[in-house]
Amino acid sequence: SEHKAEQERIRSIGAKLGYAAEVEKALENGLGAVDVSLVSGNARIAVEVSITTPPEHEVSNILKCLSAGFDYVIATAPTRDRLRAIERSAWREITAADSPNVLFLRPEDIEEFLRSHRDELDENKIMGYTVIVKNVPKSSEEKQRRRDRLNWLLNRAQTREC
Mean pLDDT of 23-49: 90
Cα separation, 20 vs 126, in Å, equals 6
Residues of the chain with pLDDT > 70, as a percent, come to 73
pLDDT, greater one: 114 or 154: 114
Q: pLDDT digit string (tens) for 50-86? A: 999 999 999 999 999 998 989 899 999 999 999 999 9
Mean pLDDT of 9-26: 93
Residue 78's nearest CA partner among 3, 16, 14 is 3
What was the pLDDT predicted at 100? 83
Core vs surface per residue 117-153: b (16+ CB within 10 A) or e: bbbeeeebbeeeeeeeeeeeeeeeeeeeeeeeebeeb
What was the pLDDT predicted at 125? 46
Cα separation, 5 vs 88, in Å, equals 26
What was the pLDDT predicted at 137? 47
Count how many residues are written for the chain: 162
What was the pLDDT predicted at 62? 94
